[in-house]
A and B are shown apart, each in its own frame.
Chain A
Amino acid sequence: MATTTLHDAHHDAHPTGVMRWLTSTNHKDIGTLYLWFSFIMFLFAGGLAMLIRAELFQPGLQFFQPNLFNQFTTMHGLIMIFGAIMPAFVGFANWQIPMMIGAPDMAFPRLNNWSFWLLPAAASLLLMSFLMPGGAAAGGWTMYPPLFIQGGMSYDMTIFAIHIMGLSSIIGSINIITTILNMRTPGMTMMKMPIFVWTWLITAFLLLSAMPVLASAVTMLLTDRHFGTYFFNAAGGGDPVMFQHIFWFFGHPEVYIMILPAFGILSSIIPTFSRKPLFGYDSMVYATAAIALLSFLVWAHHMFTVGMPAASQLFFMYATMLIAIPTGVKVFNWTATMWRGSITFETPMLFAIAVVCLFTIGGFSGLVLAIVPVDIQLQDTYYVVAHFHYVLFSGAAMSIMAGVYYWLPKWTGHMYDERLGKIHFWLTTIAFNVTFFPMHFIGLAGMPRRIPDYALQFAEFNMLQSIGSFVLGASQLLFLYTVIKCIRGGATAGDRPWEGADSLEWTLTSPPPYHSFQTAPAFK
């Protein structure tokens, strides 16, 4: 490719304009692409959430018929997970891992380019599926058969989109694993890597093991739909519950794929603003590994109502409860890191503190849901919706925001507007809780999820939730504005804008040079 020869000859001559982005093999450019792609998807899927909340503002069908409503919930889930959260973390991995381990770039730059450019292809399949006869897939992001077998062409497009996104994730994780294992600067042993790098290493292994499982599950759906197989059709000797087992065998590790890198970001931010080393580095690493291993043993806790024997229920309940231990260790470590520090409250730290609190609430509701008899009451209610939004919005998405504020000065060379950052923080945190906290109550009181209309006793809370969600949605436009403002200009950040920051990326200029570390940096 032309770009490569250019690189070899002149380090500073790269294509400009569109070609720069299309052909880039540079880890920072690709990281930027991932992050913008993810933000666009975040706004789109968030827009779908606004439509959902508009319909649920009051009982009765106001704006959308159930068929369209179900498309919104399905696509909101799929796009948020595969389009917004996962690519955002890969964006962080691209930007940060080479800089944190003292490498010039990722191990496979061209593969890196490809793994990104697969994503827009997959996303357009998903978005175009709205235009197909009958609209987009409406069977829920979990795609349970036989319901998912009933749909039209958009369901096939969804399956192919998942294939492509899975391929992208697998390529990306191979790249990340190779980079981390082979390109660390001399002296950086495994147990000296920044925790963010550790969490991504473990996440990449989770991706490698989980994505092929999802691919096989959706492939079986495809052949059931079109090629006369009966994997999931009881009439032909198949088993619809088998799909759920396969899906959640992917699905639970997937949860940790979306949260472990967030833990990594928190473990970078909290020591910086506490001006104190991370407490319990070793136990952080072991806890991350323990969570990852356990995540393969708990999948059926999503399926306690399918009618499994008591022995299985007990096994999956005990295994799930065990995850509380390493997760608890992490929260205790963060608390101990802050203890007797010298704490300041810049926007990244505010987000990080909020994430620790709110994620813990999500962790507790997860523990409540692990208790089989209680789960029987709460399965498929709004309690579950509250639970996974505490984990995925205030856990994953708000960590992403924290990370963006934290590293934006490094990436752009400018400080972001602290005042706007703080306004964004408070709006997001308050609106998030107004939206999602009452969902615990309506879930307990018996409101099922995925319904376009509901009984009257849930009306007040739903209205409150809708109002909260509109504020939450609008606040993210402020985030967009703050980020653009920072890219355009602002106070000079300097190499190390945060007093307490000490990983390798802060030894580089802001913004960093095109090839992060031309020579391996010294590392003690």
Chain B
Amino acid sequence: MPCNIRSALPTITISLSATSAYADFRFNLQPAVTPIATEIYDLHNLILLVCLAIFIVVFGVMFYALYKHRKSVGHSPAQFSHNTKLEVVWTIIPFFILVGMAYPTTQTILRMKTVENTDMSIKVTGRQWYWEYEYMDAGVNYVSNLATPRDQIDNKAAKTPHYLLEVDQPMVVPTGKKVRLLLTASDVIHSWWIPAFGVKQDAIPGFINEAWFQVDKPGIYRGQCAELCGVGHGFMPIVVEAKPQEEYDAWLKNQKAQLAATAEAATKDYTLDELKTRGETIFNSRCAACHQANGQGIPGVFPPLVGGAAFANQDTLKRLAERGFAKDGKIVLGPKDKHLDIVMHGIPGTAMQGLGAQMTDLEVAAVITYERNSWGNKTGDMLQPKEVAAVRKSKG
């Protein structure tokens, strides 16, 4: 039965929105690529049609009355105010309609909630404001950031087709495999959502939630964070690339090689310029949402990184002063070791979280070097990945 409904609705959809490049999901749910999403698509259409039918019947009657029983056509009012039989009937019929809806729904819910016999597990961590993926069976992990350039958001450059729905490194999964997700968050609640999979699961700090999906069709699937998580909430998309097993294996191998290369890169020495260039990219994707690309922060909310600027949030100022980053209500550039400490471990009680666990030694070194030598900060200080590694070793 649901199949007929399915074929009817997209026809309407397409004919209504023929002008759009996204015709197939402008009016209805996005095309489903997992069994669960397909079931959801059918369920929604079924319920929509039932509601539509009831609406037409009830308001057909009402508008008939509004038209025929007008005073202006001389209709004189009847005075009845009860009809027990009718009232019983229209209480009972909806009950059975609801039971009819509940039955297929219950089955879908039970299928969604059965996370069994999965082929692989990926741990998903939501952070303000990007996602981190850890392939539990393969020992690969990386973060996935918004890839849309700031200029497009600020209307300084033309917007490309996947505006706000593109990331630097997507989650990659093999097709035809049952993938289990273990979701958590490090700061506030986020929600991992890919409409085409029919998966939306909150990622909650301190808790681990489960979800699963199986994609059979290779392709790139896009979604967004679905739980308000602060200023970057609109800017933490989710992209999943489903590849055939061989391509997935090749990707995994490459990913492992990259991890090894990163480890190797951390042992080298870099010049100031090399570090600054790397640091700028990292800063813009990780830090600029709060501290802004020009390092000015947002007054009262996120402190500037440029010495001298005034900043109004007394609580934060106090914490910065304890670390040597503020004097007399002004921000100053504090000592290098404290700078490293803040980036690695955050400032408890503020939105600044420790990034040590998610960044490589090289990334930490580069971003700190960039911050200490940009926007008018001219310390000439350099931090080498080796130094970061040493601190990591001594303090963890």
- Chain A residues with CB under 8 Å of chain B are 59-62, 65-67, 70, 132-135, 138-140, 144-147, 150, 152, 233-235, 239-241, 274-283, 305-307, 309-310, 313-314, 317-318, 321-322, 324-325, 328-329, 331-332, 334-336, 338-344, 353, 356-357, 360-361, 364, 367-368, 371-374, 376-377, 379-381, 441, 444-446, 448, 450-457, 460-461
How far apart are B58's CB and chain A's nearest CB, in angstroms? 6
Residue total for B at the interface (Cβ-Cβ under 8 A): 105
Contact B62 A338 (CB under 8 A): yes
B82 at the interface (CB under 8 A from A): yes
Contact B47 A371 (CB under 8 A): yes
Within the assembled complex, what's the spacing in Å between the Cα atoms of A278 and B80?
Answer: 9
Within the assembled complex, what's the spacing in Å between the Cα atoms of A524 and B152?
Answer: 71
Contact B205 A234 (CB under 8 A): yes
Contact B202 A60 (CB under 8 A): no
- In this complex, what residue of A is CB-closest to B98? A321
How far apart are B287's CB and chain A's nearest CB, in angstroms? 15
Contact A314 B109 (CB under 8 A): yes
> Which B residues are in CB contact (< 8 Å) with A313?
109, 113
- A340 in complex: contacting residue of B69, B189, B202, B209, CB < 8 Å: B69
Within the assembled complex, what's the spacing in Å between the Cα atoms of A211 and B304?
Answer: 40
Instruction: Please tell me which stretch of B158-166, B257-265, B269-277 contacts chain A, meaning at least 4 of its Cβ atoms lie within 8 angstroms of it.
Output: B158-166
> Which B residues are in CB contact (< 8 Å) with A360?
55, 58-59
Contacts A150-B230, A321-B102, A324-B98 known; A451 to B224 CB distance under 8 Å? Answer: yes
Instruction: Please tell me which stretch of B116-124, B168-176, B193-201, B360-368 contacts chain A, meaning at least 4 of its Cβ atoms lie within 8 angstroms of it.
Output: B193-201
> Which B residues are in CB contact (< 8 Å) with A379?
191, 200, 226
- A324 in complex: contacting residue of B55, B65, B94, B201, CB < 8 Å: B94
Contact A452 B234 (CB under 8 A): yes
Contact A150 B61 (CB under 8 A): no
Contact A61 B155 (CB under 8 A): yes
Contacts A66-B234, A234-B206, A331-B58 known; A341 to B44 CB distance under 8 Å? Answer: no
- In the complex, besides A335-B61, A377-B200, 4 extra interface pairs with C-beta distance below 8 angstroms are A239-B207, A276-B81, A340-B69, A368-B48
How far apart are A224's CB and chain B's nearest CB, in angstroms? 12
- A317 in complex: contacting residue of B29, B39, B105, B112, CB < 8 Å: B105
Within the assembled complex, what's the spacing in Å between the Cα atoms of A377 and B69?
Answer: 43
- In this complex, what residue of A is CB-closest to B113? A310
Within the assembled complex, what's the spacing in Å between the Cα atoms of A159 and B98?
Answer: 39
> Which B residues are in CB contact (< 8 Å) with A306?
202, 204, 209
Residues of chain B in range 37-96 having any CB-CB distance to chain A below 8 Å: 37, 39-40, 43-44, 47-48, 51, 54-55, 58-59, 61-62, 65-66, 69-72, 75-83, 86-87, 90-91, 94-95
- A336 in complex: contacting residue of B47, B75, B86, B233, CB < 8 Å: B86
B251 at the interface (CB under 8 A from A): no
- In this complex, what residue of A is CB-closest to B234? A451
Within the assembled complex, what's the spacing in Å between the Cα atoms of A309 and B112?
Answer: 11
How far apart are A434's CB and chain B's nearest CB, in angstroms? 16
Contacts A307-B210, A329-B87, A445-B25 known; A376 to B30 CB distance under 8 Å? Answer: no
Contact A353 B230 (CB under 8 A): no
> Which B residues are in CB contact (< 8 Å) with A446?
25, 29-30, 195, 223-224
Contact B233 A450 (CB under 8 A): yes
B110 at the interface (CB under 8 A from A): yes
Contact B72 A133 (CB under 8 A): no
Contact A338 B65 (CB under 8 A): yes
- In this complex, what residue of A is CB-closest to B150? A61
Contact A280 B224 (CB under 8 A): no
Contact B69 A338 (CB under 8 A): yes
Contacts A60-B154, A66-B231 known; A310 to B110 CB distance under 8 Å? Answer: yes
Contact B69 A280 (CB under 8 A): no
Contact B36 A134 (CB under 8 A): no
Contacts A280-B81, A342-B70 known; A374 to B95 CB distance under 8 Å? Answer: no
Contact B164 A380 (CB under 8 A): no
Contact B301 A356 (CB under 8 A): no
How far apart are A50's CB and chain B's nearest CB, in angstroms? 20
- In this complex, what residue of B is CB-closest to A379? B200
- Chain B residues with CB under 8 Å of chain A are 20-22, 25-30, 36-37, 39-40, 43-44, 47-48, 51, 54-55, 58-59, 61-62, 65-66, 69-72, 75-83, 86-87, 90-91, 94-95, 98, 101-102, 105-106, 108-110, 112-113, 152-155, 159, 161-165, 183, 187-189, 191, 193, 195, 198-202, 204-207, 209-210, 223-235, 298-301, 312-313, 315, 350-351
How far apart are A436's CB and chain B's nearest CB, in angstroms? 15
Offer 27 A-B interface pairs, CB within 8 angstroms, sorted by A. A67-B298, A140-B228, A144-B189, A146-B187, A152-B301, A239-B206, A274-B77, A276-B77, A276-B78, A279-B82, A305-B202, A307-B204, A307-B207, A325-B95, A338-B62, A338-B69, A340-B75, A342-B75, A344-B70, A353-B62, A367-B51, A374-B40, A444-B25, A444-B44, A445-B29, A453-B164, A457-B22
Contact A373 B224 (CB under 8 A): no
Contact B66 A307 (CB under 8 A): no
How far apart are B98's CB and chain A's nearest CB, in angstroms? 5
Within the assembled complex, what's the spacing in Å between the Cα atoms of A133 and B90?
Answer: 56
> Which A residues are in CB contact (< 8 Å) with B47?
367-368, 371, 374
Within the assembled complex, what's the spacing in Å between the Cα atoms of A442 and B33?
Answer: 19
> Which A residues are in CB contact (< 8 Å) with B95?
325
Within the assembled complex, what's the spacing in Å between the Cα atoms of A361 and B48?
Answer: 11
- Across chains A and B, which 3 residue pairs bring their CB atoms closest together, nearest first? A234-B206, A133-B300, A451-B234
Contact B44 A377 (CB under 8 A): yes
Contact B200 A373 (CB under 8 A): no
> Which B residues are in CB contact (< 8 Å) with A318?
102
Contact B210 A376 (CB under 8 A): no
> Which A residues are in CB contact (< 8 Å) with B232?
66
How far apart are A497's CB and chain B's nearest CB, in angstroms? 15
> Which B residues are in CB contact (< 8 Å) with A274?
69, 77
Most B CB atoms within 10 A — which of A147, A331, A376?
A: A376
Within the assembled complex, what's the spacing in Å between the Cα atoms of A455 and B154?
Answer: 14
> Which B residues are in CB contact (< 8 Å) with A453?
153, 164, 234-235
Within the assembled complex, what's the spacing in Å between the Cα atoms of A360 and B193?
Answer: 29
- B91 in complex: contacting residue of A233, A329, A331, CB < 8 Å: A329
> Which B residues are in CB contact (< 8 Å) with A310?
109-110, 113
> Which A residues are in CB contact (< 8 Å) with B195?
377, 446
- B189 in complex: contacting residue of A240, A441, A444, CB < 8 Å: A240
Contacts A310-B110, A376-B200 known; A70 to B228 CB distance under 8 Å? Answer: yes
> Which B residues are in CB contact (< 8 Å) with A239?
206-207
- A376 in complex: contacting residue of B22, B65, B106, B198, CB < 8 Å: B198
> Which A residues are in CB contact (< 8 Å) with B165?
455
Contact A235 B206 (CB under 8 A): yes
How far apart are B330's CB and chain A's nearest CB, in angstroms? 15
How far apart are B312's CB and chain A's nearest CB, in angstroms? 4
Contact B201 A307 (CB under 8 A): yes
> Which B residues are in CB contact (< 8 Å) with A62?
155
How far apart are A389's CB and chain B's nearest CB, in angstroms? 18
Contact B163 A456 (CB under 8 A): yes
Contact B313 A61 (CB under 8 A): no
Contact B77 A373 (CB under 8 A): no
Contact B62 A356 (CB under 8 A): yes
> Which B residues are in CB contact (< 8 Å) with A329?
87, 90-91
> Which B residues are in CB contact (< 8 Å) with A338?
62, 65-66, 69
- In this complex, what residue of B is CB-closest to A335? B62
> Which A residues are in CB contact (< 8 Å) with B227?
144, 305, 380
How far apart are A435's CB and chain B's nearest CB, in angstroms? 17
Contact A277 B79 (CB under 8 A): yes
Contact A377 B313 (CB under 8 A): no
Within the assembled complex, what's the spacing in Å between the Cα atoms of A34 and B21?
Answer: 50
Within the assembled complex, what's the spacing in Å between the Cα atoms of A140 and B189?
Answer: 13
- B76 in complex: contacting residue of A150, A278, A283, A342, CB < 8 Å: A342
